[in-house]
Structure 1
Amino acid sequence: MEEKEKLEEESRKTKEKKDFFSFVKNPIRYDVLHLAWPILTELLMSSLFGMVDMMMLGWIADKALAAASVAAVGITNQPMFIGLSLAQALNVGGTAMIARYVGAKQPHRVDSVLKHVILLNLFLLAIPLSTFGLTFTDEIMRFMGAQADTIDAGRIYFKIIMVGYLFQSFNMSITAALRGIGETKAPMKINIRVNSMNVVGNALLIYGLLFFPELGVTGAAVSTAFSHVVASVLMLRYIVRKDSPLKVDFRKKFKYNKTVIQNLIRVGIPASLESLALRIGVLLFVRIVAGLGTVVYASHQIALSILGLSFQPGQAFGIAASSMVGRSLGAQNLSVAEKYAKETRKIGSMISTFMAVIFFFFGPWIVGLYTNDPVIIENASRALKIIALVQPFQSSQLILAGALRGAGDTLWPLVATFIGVFGFRVILAHIFVNIMGFGLVGAWMAVLADQFIRYLFVYGRFRTNKWKYIRIR
């Protein structure tokens, strides 16, 4: 009798899950929403938590220290993002391969791919980059254009964050593999949990609440790094469970696989070069903006934080497109792969357009959540109006580039990024800021041009349909 009641309860829960998406009649749209909503929730929550962190620093009582702390986080995050982008690029190859193998009914090959990706991430990227960052902290920040007050505020922050990067790169590899097999809820739950913990830890350590010391921006670093460690433990515990959908056996001896490496090189190197080009371009861009002074750069960093939120629909649906396109191509369903790509672009663009309206009309109120400094609010609000115009192009290019990567077509996103960032963002930012004197608004006008150019290249490649015939061995 007890077993019968248990079966009835499971049946009821399954029905409720189906009813949640029952308003969606189109099966393609149902699959997109079912896969993308956990990714979108995870990314949005991560961005919101990151915004809260920045707000906490912006509300430090000493305004000069608050501005220096916000600027320090921005300066520090840029070189660290190079490492994260390179790790993510390697994961792109892993996601594409895993999705193909799952679609082709070859799940036994997933174990080898994931182990290769984890080891390459750790020994090729995470450990060398963390060591470099810890050794040359001041030099890196100075190269970024940081002023003396920013270096003093952010030196220890940078070192602690670079230690946390070791665990963050491991987490990204696991998350990418789970998304490749279509499992998006587990990473969402883990990341929401650790990000919530990070926000609480930031409040305690930045302001010295309860019995904790008041550490300012250093406290934010300690809390963030610790959250990455906890996430690693939770991720590892999840994938070694017997009922885990990602079948990985760490007790089994690792075997070098030439085919896996060749696929990762073919798919991952263009993606890595794309990420590297983007990050170097952004570094040059940041140096131009940093030359406008600490207060203006703090305004820019707040605008970037809000832009990070606006990226999330495009990123989420781009990741969903990668998984669904990869699995469809693995199963030889070429027309279905195209339908998934178009549907993800449609839904993601609708969400981004809604966000653009919010940014355009409620900019000062949003920036006011970060700071009460009227100069920063004015500068960042102007940047938000341009960010609103960026949204349609940014969302479409992120989603379609995700679809191309899922197919293993990583060359054209590289071309688009290289031309958009170096040919337009950096050059136009220099012209608008240093020559024409447009200030922060000029810098963001260059971002708009960059996103538009990237959209044209990615959309043009998608229309050729050549991505459907790329082979992964």
Structure 2
Amino acid sequence: MESVLNKKDLRNQIVKIASPVLIELLMGTLFGMVDMMMLGRSGDAATTAASIAAVGVTNQLVFLGLALVQSLNIGATTMVARYIGAKREDRIESVVKHVTILTQILLVVPILFIGLGMTDTAMKFFGAHEDTLIIGRDYFRVIASGFIFQAFNFSIFASLRGSGDTKTPMKINIIANLSNVVGNAVLIYGLFGFPRLGVLGAGISTSLSQVIASILLMRVVFNQKNIVHINLKKKFKFDKDIVYNLIKIGLPASGEQLAMRAGMLIFTKIIASLGTVPYATHQICISILNLSFTPGQAFGISASTLVGRSLGEEEPDKAEAYVKMCGKIGAIIATVMGVIFFFFGSAIAALYTDNKEVILGAGAVLKLVAFIQPFQCSQLIISGGLRGAGDTVWTLISTLLGILIIRWICAHVFVIKLGMGLSGAWLAVLIDQSIRWIFISIRFRTNNWKYITIR
């Protein structure tokens, strides 16, 4: 009876943290899909394909920046969770200040320099053709400017999730995303007397929604009653132990994210060589795939928080039990999503565009995406648990092996050598995800992650 109750308690704790994250990510992804659908119906076929491609190119820079922000923030999530488990809440404010300041100095400034000072060069580097440059140049600059607020939001969200508060990020992100969708409709199509701006309107709306989220977050972190807060009257000074923890956890995580973005860049450039229509098809599939990431991400975040807290409490077996339970729940959701993608992929793709060639190509790709689901979800959850323990070296090795080596080799062979087109590229993703899952599962079973310490 005790074990059943323990399992019930574990499940309740997991669902309490994961449910708001899952809702937040699902809503954010669905709103993103609506954005893409709006652009897909904002003009003639050539214009919409170039607009969607412009979003894809811009996302390469934004995702690179956010990947690095997230890698630094993994340290924040881990430390906040550990300090709460160890009853050292007095350390949390310093963590929040460190991660916020370092993010803006080390990561936001370079992204602004690239996005505003090297616009054309950066867009070409990320695979933009001339039609995409003409339509997407201003969009690229506006999104880069909004990164200031987006990075700030990510830093605070990471700290809140480390404390177990996933409801606040959910509420704020839903408000921001709703604002973005309304703003998109108004500025893309020129409603209520506003100019019809197309993809530029989408960029302006997206950046403004990040500003709204930042304002709402400031109200939260300036409230001294919250565990995660900032007191501006208290003088900031660098703490060598917190910096050490951020380097110890964040440096391998940064390497992982750089490897991920480098691998994605190489992968995307291979796909971009197929032309604008296949690239636009790929972007639609990526948008749909992002929906399937949400269960793994949500339960991975839950695993990170609960593993960090359990290790802070010096209960490593409970940490292991949390990860295993997260995996079971995630597997059920991933299976359901796989079935939907396999049988209804073309219908989902048709929501984005009327282009028959794009719909047909996306339908074929989504059948492969269906088989990716169980490997992807399990790998994300176990990796989340390892990161919560501060074990970011092995997630780095897994990513280097999978996306930077296996995926690149397979994509090159399937797309360039064998001429399998977009389906060949996504077959490479399936192979990459399955190998990463095997590697990360082996690491988890060694139990070495249970004994990583922080200062």
TM over 0.5: yes
Deviation, 1:423, is: 1.6
Cα distance in 1 for residues equivalent to 2:7 and 2:248: 38
Deviation, 1:24, is: 11
Structure 1: where are the runs of 5+ without partners?
1-22
Answer yes or no: is 1:357 the counterpart of 2:339. yes
Q: Which residue of 1 aligns with 2:183?
A: 201
Q: Which residue of 1 aligns with 2:206?
A: 224
Deviation, 1:243, is: 3.3
Q: Which residue of 2 aligns with 1:46?
A: 28
Which one of 394, 412, 426 corresponds to residue 444 of structure 1? Answer: 426
Q: Is the contact between residue 92 and residue 227 of structure 2 (CA under 8 Å) also seen in structure 1?
A: no
Deviation, 1:245, is: 3.3
Which one of 72, 95, 110 corresponds to residue 90 of structure 1? Answer: 72
Deviation, 1:61, is: 3.0
Cα distance in 1 for residues equivalent to 2:233 and 2:26: 36
Cα distance in 2 for residues equivalent to 1:145 and 1:113: 38
The alignment's C-alpha RMSD in Å is 1.1
Structure 2: where are the runs of 5+ without partners?
none
Deviation, 1:412, is: 0.5
Q: Which residue of 2 aligns with 1:125?
A: 107
Which one of 101, 109, 116 corresponds to residue 91 of structure 2? Answer: 109
Deviation, 1:226, is: 0.4
Cα distance in 1 for residues equivalent to 2:403 and 2:427: 13
SS of match in other structure, 2:274 = coil
The amino acid across from 1:206 in the alignment is I
Q: Which moved more, 1:338-347 or 1:219-228?
A: 338-347
Q: Which residue of 2 aligns with 1:414?
A: 396
Q: Which moved more, 1:249-258 or 1:28-37?
A: 249-258
Answer yes or no: is 1:212 the counterpart of 2:190. no
Deviation, 1:242, is: 3.9
Which one of 29, 36, 56 corresponds to residue 11 of structure 2? Answer: 29
TM superposition outliers: structure 1 runs of 4+ over 3 Å: none
Partner deviation per Cα, 1:331-375 (whole Å, 9 max, x = no partner): 001111111111111111211111110000001110000001100
Q: Which residue of 2 aligns with 1:158?
A: 140
SS of match in other structure, 2:236 = coil
Q: Which residue of 2 aligns with 1:322?
A: 304
Cα distance in 1 for residues equivalent to 2:110 and 2:270: 28
Partner deviation per Cα, 1:298-356 (whole Å, 9 max, x = no partner): 00000000011100110111011000000000000111111111111111121111111
The amino acid across from 1:215 in the alignment is L
Q: Is the contact between residue 79 and residue 283 of structure 1 (CA under 8 Å) also seen in structure 2?
A: no
Q: Is the contact between residue 307 and residue 387 of structure 1 (CA under 8 Å) also seen in structure 2?
A: yes
Q: Which residue of 1 aligns with 2:157?
A: 175
The alignment covers a number of residue pairs equal to: 451
Q: Which residue of 2 aligns with 1:459?
A: 441
Give the percent of matched residue pairs that are identical in Structure 1 and Structure 2. Answer: 55
Deviation, 1:292, is: 0.5
The amino acid across from 1:54 in the alignment is M
Partner deviation per Cα, 1:121-173 (whole Å, 9 max, x = no partner): 00010122212221111111111221100111111010000011111000000
Cα distance in 2 for residues equivalent to 1:455 and 1:88: 21
Cα distance in 2 for residues equivalent to 1:425 and 1:214: 40
Answer yes or no: is 1:431 the counterpart of 2:399. no
Q: Is the contact between residue 89 and residue 227 of structure 2 (CA under 8 Å) also seen in structure 1?
A: no
Q: Is the contact between residue 289 and residue 443 of structure 1 (CA under 8 Å) also seen in structure 2?
A: yes
Q: Which residue of 1 aligns with 2:255?
A: 273
Q: Which residue of 2 aligns with 1:366?
A: 348
Deviation, 1:247, is: 3.5
SS of match in other structure, 1:26 = helix
Q: Which moved more, 1:280-289 or 1:127-136?
A: 127-136
TM-score by length of 2: 0.98
The amino acid across from 1:387 in the alignment is V
Q: Which moved more, 1:135-144 or 1:201-210?
A: 135-144
Q: Which residue of 2 aligns with 1:402?
A: 384
Cα distance in 2 for residues equivalent to 1:245 and 1:106: 11
SS of match in other structure, 1:312 = helix
Cα distance in 2 for residues equivalent to 1:368 and 1:213: 28
SS of match in other structure, 1:105 = coil
Answer yes or no: is 1:376 the counterpart of 2:358. yes
Partner deviation per Cα, 1:364-412 (whole Å, 9 max, x = no partner): 1100000011000001111101111000000001000000000000001
Partner deviation per Cα, 1:221-266 (whole Å, 9 max, x = no partner): 0000000011011001112124323243122100110010111000
Partner deviation per Cα, 1:400-451 (whole Å, 9 max, x = no partner): 0000000000001000000001221111111111110000000000101111
